[in-house]
Chain A
Amino acid sequence: MFEAIAFYTFSAVTIAMFTITVMSKNALYAMSALAAGMIMISGFFFLLDADFLGVVQIIVYTGAVMAFYAFGMMFFNTTRLVKENIRAPKLVFLLSGMSALLLVVALVAPIVSDHIEPFYPVVEGVENPQAVGIVLFTKYLVPFELAAVMLLVAMIAGIILAGKKMDESLTLKVDGEDEFQNKGSK
């Protein structure tokens, strides 16, 4: 009963938030709605007994990724509305509908055949984070390490890409206040 209430609440709020993200013309509204939707998705994970995944969802998405977006948006002029000229709005929805149909077919196909058997079954009598750790550090150790290296490479790439011309630092100059005012007046 409570599961049903929670499920329908979470799905309604998530769908509403993501619709705002997709349709809104204001980038700031879109980002806030996306963050709210991410939190609601972690609710789905808690409902599905994937506690660790839910916590990771909150920490990584709402904590790291959205903060990263918020910092990135300081570089862009986000106060004005986003102008987008969409040439064929009907075509957009037609293409989306056809893709959705393909998606449903692709999702239903393995369920119809119904020969799915657990590859790494859930361990009995163990909490979810422990079970995740057991599987992650035995069967998926190499992909885990590869993911770590990938994150490191992405971090360095982000620093190098965003940090170009950062040597013209404002803080290194002695008369820093004038620089600040010049920058602010631009």
Chain B
Amino acid sequence: MITLSHYLIVSAILFCIGLVGVYRRKNLLLLLFSTEILLNAVNIGFAAVSKFYGDLTGQMFAFFIVAVAASEVAVGLGLFIVWYKRRGTLDVDSMQSMHG
């Protein structure tokens, strides 16, 4: 029998994979992939809670997360294209113009 805990554990594992990606990736495009993993992991958690508590609010929030992810990709990829045209690289380490 699959319970709520199973789904939440899978969601947490996927979230941790995404976190590892966010911490270790230096390429901006691959960094954006990791954020997609984070958002999807949270979506699984929302859907699971929505089913096991008989409440539709979780699914609603999952929909809005999907909308936010889509617009994030649109704006983020546009910014990356502009950056790549100027610098020729997508490395995070190249974004050190302030030398703080």
Q: Is the CB of B23 within 8 A of A95?
A: yes
For B80, the chain A residues whose CB sits under 8 A away are: 72, 75-76
A22-B18, A116-B53 are known contacts. Are A27 and B29 too (CB-CB below 8 A)? yes
Contacts of B37 in A (CB 8 A): 18, 21-22, 34, 37
Size bin of chain A's contact surface: 35 or more
In the complex, what residues of B have CB within 8 A of residue A14's CB?
10, 14
Query: Which stretch (A54-62, A168-176, A178-186) binds chain B?
Result: A54-62
B61: min CB distance to chain A, Å = 9
Q: Which of A95, A122, A151, A154 has the most CB of B within 10 A?
A: A154
Q: Provide the main secondary structure of the chain B interface.
A: helix
Query: Interface of chain A, helix or strand or loop or mixed?
Result: helix
Contact A150 B56 (CB under 8 A): no
User: What are 25 A-B pairs at a CB distance below 8 A?
Assistant: A18-B18, A22-B17, A38-B40, A45-B47, A50-B50, A60-B70, A64-B70, A65-B36, A75-B81, A76-B80, A103-B12, A120-B60, A132-B59, A135-B60, A147-B64, A150-B68, A151-B67, A154-B70, A154-B72, A155-B71, A157-B74, A158-B74, A158-B77, A158-B78, A160-B78
Separation of A21 and B34 alpha carbons in the complex (Å): 8
Chain B residues with a Cβ closer than 8 Å to the other chain, count: 66
Interface contacts beyond A118-B55, A157-B78: sample of 11 additional A-B pairs, CB < 8 Å, sorted by A: A45-B44, A53-B47, A56-B63, A69-B29, A92-B23, A107-B8, A143-B64, A150-B71, A151-B71, A164-B82, A164-B85
Most A-side CB within 10 Å, residue of B29, B56, B93: B56
